[in-house]
Structure 1
């Protein structure tokens, strides 16, 4: 598979699964229609209500970000099954092991990522 030996593949897959498990502990699935906010609003001054709303907005944004990361990690783990893990989605070349160690969910090789960032 794309120039990686079995030990490297096992290491990268375990890193991805570990990160997914960590995020799963942060993001708790909610029942449909359930709107539990991290900080509840109580009768306080308007300034305190604004702070509570800000804290809730930040917590919801962080949960959304974690959910998006989980989705990306799941897609990356699926690539192990179809044999496309470690291949650049743009040019099809192998992504280097050192890049995958630093960023196991990398979708692009260094060259394609550099070009994408310049655009």
Structure 2
């Protein structure tokens, strides 16, 4: 696979910066601080189950949001150390089409496929 051109690298970096900016502007769901987004009040068992489900979904969304921000920040950090676009497992270049689809990708398609099979 050919290494990324400077234009492709600039485009990918811009995509990641915009994504991080968009994620930063979205109010992150509350983390698991013990504080519940939806208060449990004395109600029927079904209402309490619904409240617990809403709180669980909120915590899960917070985890996804923070994980996505972490992945984007790590990808941007790889630009600084010169490792962006290289597979973390085999060291080969990650295909431009894969990076355009998932700019935060850390593995080439072959290594990602092997990792998913494990």
Tell me the TM-score normalized by structure 2: 0.84
What is aligned with 1:5? 5
- Structure 1 position 23 matched with structure 2 position 23: yes
> Which string of whole-angstrom CA distances, capped at 9 and with x for unpartnered residues, describes residues 64-91 of structure 1?
1211121111111100001000001111
- 1:36-47 correspondence to structure 2 within 5 Å: 37-47=36-46
Q: Matched residue pairs, number?
A: 115
- Measured in 2, the distance between the counterparts of 1:118 and 1:17 equals 31
- Structure 1 position 63 matched with structure 2 position 54: no
- Measured in 1, the distance between the counterparts of 2:109 and 2:28 equals 31
Tell me the TM-score normalized by structure 1: 0.84
| Structure 2: gaps of 5 or more residues | none
> Which string of whole-angstrom CA distances, capped at 9 and with x for unpartnered residues, describes residues 39-74 of structure 1?
222332221111011101111111012111211111
Deviation, structure 1 residue 34? 6.8
- Measured in 1, the distance between the counterparts of 2:86 and 2:19 equals 21
- The runs of 4+ residues in structure 1 deviating greater than 4 Å are none
What is aligned with 2:82? 83
